[in-house]
Structure 1
Amino acid sequence: MKLSLLTLPLLCAALLSVGGQAATPGNIPALPPGQTLPVPKPPAPKPPVVKPLPVQMPPAQTPPIQPPLEIAPATPLRPQTAPPLVPLPVVPPSILTPPKPVAVPPAAYRPADPLFTRQWDMTTIGMPQAWALLPEIVKKGGVSQTPPVTVAVLDTGFVNSPELAGRVVNGYDFVHDPVRSGDGDGRDTDASGVGQLAYHGEVVANIIAAAHDGRGMAGINPTARIVQVRVAGTDGLIDPQDLADGLLWAAGLAVPGVPANPNPAKVLNLSLFADFIPLTGCDARIQNAVSAVNAKGALIVVGAANDGADASGYSPAGCRNVLTVTSATQQGTRPDYANWGRSVAIAAPGGETGHGVPVSSLSGPGGERSPNGTSMAAPHVAGVASLLLSARPRLTPTQLRALLTRTATPFPGGRCDPAPARTCGSGTLNAAAAVREALASSLGK
């Protein structure tokens, strides 16, 4: 059995830090149920700079010059009667007025959020190009053609992040053990995060859906709705049955003794693995829940874990019908902590020691953090999946998995690690390529 908090079943290789120092138990301010920390005063928003490509117009066409007609003497003709006057034909305005040039969409869209200039993870996966292909998603005040995609974050629980104002839901607390729950009872309708790891779920959710509002960071899908489902105790550990029930509920399936979820999700993000079980394969309870959620039509995105080991022994990373994600550095290689193996489908930015993923968090100095781990890699894939569903709402979990893995950027030299067995899936997530291919197809419309 694996019970070590320091390997973080919540898949951050390094604990979220306070004041730039590594967190120790009790060092991160706890969030009592229903309460949040003060929101730092944001800087004045700066308008995004969008530079359209120059419109290439064809050169003006002129009729060819005809040689003058040869003038020859002619016999005078008899006087001719003038023909009757007839009106000239009406020329359509479209012929008289040259057509207006067709605007070429910008090649990239760059949010005005101040942290974006340091979000290397977003440029690595081609988010500026992906956003430019979906202007209705990123345009402030714009209305998408489809309802917002709901993403469930099964994690440490609800934090009322200003990055998700009006789009984050306090879901349900599935931690059944009152001792580990830290809120004085077992399962209940308040999923608020409690304890030193309370903000782990907030960071994951912000990567997926932080607003493009000129403050903090820019999330992948700024129109997505987040449902926070608490499955982790204050110790950061996850009971298998709590996780299995949380999976079912998040997708809108019935769980005995628990009220129905009014906001069922199409994408579930699990930056975690189950504890209190051997790491020898997928736990049957979790596999049954995964299969039911998959049949319901929801995609499950899972972090591979941070032990530098084969991910196939972990639950749910080693389960069938999930999309398992490991970490990649900015250079596209596997950091030492990241799990690997045949169960891993794709890699995404997870950072490394000294070069984490820049994120907004109420718990960070100045409202920022730079954690690393497969906890950070998984929400990149979940966010892009939700973006694809915004454009193609009928894509199935199988189609989403195929699209995301098929369009991934190949690893440098064809592999993420010199050791052949330490594979990382098909490549590094490529949001621009995935969105482009989805829009070029009628699949999922």
Structure 2
Amino acid sequence: MLCVGTATSVAAPTAAPDAAPAPSAPAGQAPVERLIVGYKSMTTEANSDSAAAKDAEAKGKKAGESLDFDRRLGTGAALVDLGGELGKKDADDVMAAFRADPDVAYVVPDRRVYAAAVNPNDTEYQRQWDLFESAAGMNVPGAWDKATGEGVKVAVIDTGYVAHSDLAGNVIAGYDFISDPFMANDGGGRDSNAADPGDWMLQGECGNNYPERDTTSSWHGTHVAGTIAATTNNSKGIAGIAYNATIQPVRVLGKCGGTTADIMDSITWASGGTVSGVPNNPNPADVINMSLGGSGACDSGTQSAINAAVNRGTTVVVAAGNSNANAANFNPANCSNVITVAASDREGNRASYSNYGTIVDITAPGGETAVSSANGIWSTLNSGTRSPSTENYKAYQGTSMAAPHIAGLAALMYQANPSVTPAQVESSIRSNARTLPGTCSGGCGAGLADAARTLGASGGTDPQPPTGSVFTNANNVNIPDTKTPVTSSLAVTGISGNAPADLQIAVDIKHTYRGDLKIEIVAPSGASAVLQNTSSDSADNVITTYTVDASGVAASGTWKLRVTDMYSGDTGYIDSWSLTF
């Protein structure tokens, strides 16, 4: 018999860590002398030094300390002097006073840091808030003592690659899959040269008056590639997230965009499949990044290419789209077996342009340049308006910029655990996300990705990725709105004896009214337990981990997740689920 134990959420985000990601310091925590206080953008304290000074004085009185406003930092945060060194408890009391104020976005100690290997010497690194800022950065430096992407291959399916010295050392041979010579813009169709000749367009030359005006070349694929794997600690430029990984440029976007057929072939080839007329890929990708998309449903052809890639062990990361709309209406964001990424701004809000919705898996920094280019994502580029010219760097914004943050994180995970599966990559990134410090309307997935937590590195905090033997089924199963049970099966092998008394069942079900659902686990013996019964809970989705006493049944065999929609009006599907023994 199975007994239902306590259910714990793997997707429930926790508060951001107090300390900003930083190099390792000498043993012991130094006393705190100052605090960095970030106020929400529309508050008086965010825009007035005198108001910030009065607030500091008031917070100090509340905590029994003497606080003074020191100065305004470049990000707009206030630096607050504590009037002397405070021990951990006294500093925590002061920070608690700030955190209790709804006008405060964050408060962190102004700690000393020390030179160490995780502090890159790249000259543009200070612009990369998306990697290290405590408020809305992805906590990347805290993961670098666990992995840097060594030996991992990332395919960037995009516009190709324009030569850049801050990236060249990590670029390997790719392929140009653009079959239409006009769209290729390089004098021919498909060939082994993935160089980006430029994707500029003249007004109306793509039909239907598109584009509405002349455009310049974007060098989009090179910008994406730099975020993932720019050379690091080379005393120039930027730092890549997985800076020892290799980038394989796979060209599908040119003049007037790209075609479904070319994209399908590129996914197949990049992941190690065979494409007629194209030499096999000698370096199949561990991770594919697709910062591209269009409106409409995920077509069966693209879905089949993605499924085959995932079955080969390749994690596929896609951008959610930039229409401030439900990502369910855009492909390949709405395809199954992908990690769909929304974008956040520098304050940790869903970026104003970012798509949203229940199909979004995770959010990562995408920047927002409307106010300042300093709030965008800084990466490798080229100054040419049509054909390539001199290399440079530039700030872009978009879910196109958010997706490579997750591709880079996935690359770190593949180095740390070469046997990791795409389903485990997605599950670990989601379960180790932290709460967005800003606001998100419409749905931003599990929260803001956190590299250090996901890698279980010294800069991370609980929860950690699952340990033990993990078995996952990531195939989607539609849940009919008819009180008819559906099951998703999972074959467990190699586990001797009975299942544990704390069997973990991680469930990811997309549904627009989760209270409609009855969820059960069925053991190989046929014994079953109810994980969730119906309720009046009207929230979206069931993303949680249940713990069940399964010690009375054998571990090996076919387990089933059984789901029944008991009420009409809302629908959904089983996205993925896993058992951890």
Map of 1:60 onto structure 2: none
Q: How does 1:322-333 map to 2 (within 5 A)?
A: 322-333=338-349
Map of 2:303 onto structure 1: 287
Q: Kindly indicate whether residue 201 of structure 2 is the aligned counterpart of residue 177 of structure 1.
A: no
The 1-side partners of 2:169 and 2:124 are apart by 21
Code of the residue aligned with 1:248 in structure 2: it is T
The 2-side partners of 1:185 and 1:239 are apart by 16
Map of 1:52 onto structure 2: 25
Q: How does 1:99-138 map to 2 (within 5 A)?
A: 109-123=118-132, 124-134=137-147, 137=148
Question: Is residue 170–residue 231 contact of structure 2 (8 Å, CA) maintained in 1?
Answer: no
1:438 CA drift (Å): 6.4
**Cα 1:162–1:128 shift into 2, 3 Å:** same
Q: Kindly indicate whether residue 289 of structure 2 is the aligned counterpart of residue 269 of structure 1.
A: yes
The 2-side partners of 1:408 and 1:339 are apart by 19
Q: Kindly indicate whether residue 237 of structure 2 is the aligned counterpart of residue 216 of structure 1.
A: yes
**Cα 1:400–1:115 shift into 2, 3 Å:** same
Map of 2:359 onto structure 1: 343
Question: Is residue 146–residue 416 contact of structure 2 (8 Å, CA) maintained in 1?
Answer: no
Map of 2:265 onto structure 1: 245
Q: Deviations over 1:156-204 (max 9, x none)?
A: 0122321223320231111111111111211111111122435211110
Q: Kindly indicate whether residue 402 of structure 2 is the aligned counterpart of residue 377 of structure 1.
A: yes
**Cα 1:435–1:390 shift into 2, 3 Å:** same
Code of the residue aligned with 2:118 in structure 1: it is Y
Structure ID, larger Rg? 1
Q: SS of 2:316's equivalent?
A: strand
Q: SS of 1:297's equivalent?
A: coil
Q: Deviations over 1:401-429 (max 9, x none)?
A: 0000111111237x512xxxx11101011
Q: How does 1:9-24 map to 2 (within 5 A)?
A: none
* Larger mean Cα displacement after TM superposition, 263-272 or 403-412: 403-412
Code of the residue aligned with 1:52 in structure 2: it is A
The 2-side partners of 1:106 and 1:245 are apart by 46
Question: Is residue 175–residue 181 contact of structure 1 (8 Å, CA) maintained in 2?
Answer: yes
Question: Is residue 170–residue 192 contact of structure 1 (8 Å, CA) maintained in 2?
Answer: no
1:360 CA drift (Å): 2.8
Q: SS of 2:367's equivalent?
A: coil
Q: Deviations over 1:249-281 (max 9, x none)?
A: 00010011111011110100000015xxxx331
Q: Kindly indicate whether residue 428 of structure 2 is the aligned counterpart of residue 428 of structure 1.
A: no
Give the number of aligned pairs. 328
Question: Is residue 108–residue 128 contact of structure 1 (8 Å, CA) maintained in 2?
Answer: no
Question: Is residue 269–residue 379 contact of structure 1 (8 Å, CA) maintained in 2?
Answer: yes
Code of the residue aligned with 1:291 in structure 2: it is N
Map of 1:205 onto structure 2: 225
1:211 CA drift (Å): 1.3
| TM-score normalised to structure 1 length | 0.69
The 1-side partners of 2:402 and 2:469 are apart by 27
Question: Is residue 169–residue 231 contact of structure 2 (8 Å, CA) maintained in 1?
Answer: no
Q: SS of 1:166's equivalent?
A: helix
Q: Kindly indicate whether residue 407 of structure 2 is the aligned counterpart of residue 407 of structure 1.
A: no
Question: Is residue 175–residue 192 contact of structure 2 (8 Å, CA) maintained in 1?
Answer: yes
**Cα 1:165–1:306 shift into 2, 3 Å:** same
Between Structure 1 and Structure 2, which shows a larger proportion of helix residues? 1
Q: SS of 1:203's equivalent?
A: helix
Map of 1:29 onto structure 2: none
Question: Is residue 160–residue 168 contact of structure 1 (8 Å, CA) maintained in 2?
Answer: no
Map of 1:43 onto structure 2: none
Q: Deviations over 1:203-227 (max 9, x none)?
A: 1011001111121000101110110
Code of the residue aligned with 1:222 in structure 2: it is Y
The 1-side partners of 2:309 and 2:349 are apart by 32
Q: Kindly indicate whether residue 415 of structure 2 is the aligned counterpart of residue 390 of structure 1.
A: yes
User: What percent of counterpart residues are identical?
Assistant: 40
The 2-side partners of 1:133 and 1:387 are apart by 8
Map of 1:30 onto structure 2: none
**Cα 1:439–1:371 shift into 2, 3 Å:** same
Question: Is residue 356–residue 371 contact of structure 1 (8 Å, CA) maintained in 2?
Answer: yes
Map of 1:102 onto structure 2: none
Question: Is residue 341–residue 399 contact of structure 2 (8 Å, CA) maintained in 1?
Answer: yes
Q: SS of 1:113's equivalent?
A: coil
1:440 CA drift (Å): 8.3
* Larger mean Cα displacement after TM superposition, 216-225 or 109-118: 109-118
Question: Is residue 161–residue 194 contact of structure 2 (8 Å, CA) maintained in 1?
Answer: yes
Question: Is residue 432–residue 464 contact of structure 2 (8 Å, CA) maintained in 1?
Answer: no
**Cα 1:50–1:125 shift into 2, 3 Å:** closer
Code of the residue aligned with 2:138 in structure 1: it is I
Q: SS of 2:157's equivalent?
A: strand
Q: Kindly indicate whether residue 154 of structure 2 is the aligned counterpart of residue 151 of structure 1.
A: yes
**Cα 1:291–1:366 shift into 2, 3 Å:** closer
**Cα 1:132–1:173 shift into 2, 3 Å:** same
The 1-side partners of 2:24 and 2:417 are apart by 27
Deviating runs (4+, > 6 A) in structure 1?
Answer: 105-108, 437-440
**Cα 1:440–1:308 shift into 2, 3 Å:** closer
Aligned-CA RMSD value: 2.4
Q: Kindly indicate whether residue 437 of structure 2 is the aligned counterpart of residue 416 of structure 1.
A: no
Q: SS of 1:361's equivalent?
A: strand
Between Structure 1 and Structure 2, which shows a larger proportion of strand residues? 2
1:376 CA drift (Å): 0.4
Q: Kindly indicate whether residue 383 of structure 2 is the aligned counterpart of residue 363 of structure 1.
A: yes
Q: Decide which of 274, 278, 284 is 1:254's aligned counterpart.
A: 274
Map of 2:17 onto structure 1: none
1:122 CA drift (Å): 0.3
Ranked by relative contact order (alpha carbons within 8 Å, sequence separation 6 or more), the top structure is 1
* Larger mean Cα displacement after TM superposition, 351-360 or 111-120: 351-360
The 1-side partners of 2:398 and 2:412 are apart by 23
1:106 CA drift (Å): 9.0
**Cα 1:438–1:210 shift into 2, 3 Å:** farther
The 1-side partners of 2:406 and 2:24 are apart by 28
Code of the residue aligned with 1:130 in structure 2: it is A
**Cα 1:215–1:443 shift into 2, 3 Å:** farther
The 1-side partners of 2:270 and 2:319 are apart by 17
Unaligned runs of 5+ in 1: 1-48, 57-104, 138-143
Q: SS of 2:172's equivalent?
A: strand
**Cα 1:107–1:410 shift into 2, 3 Å:** farther
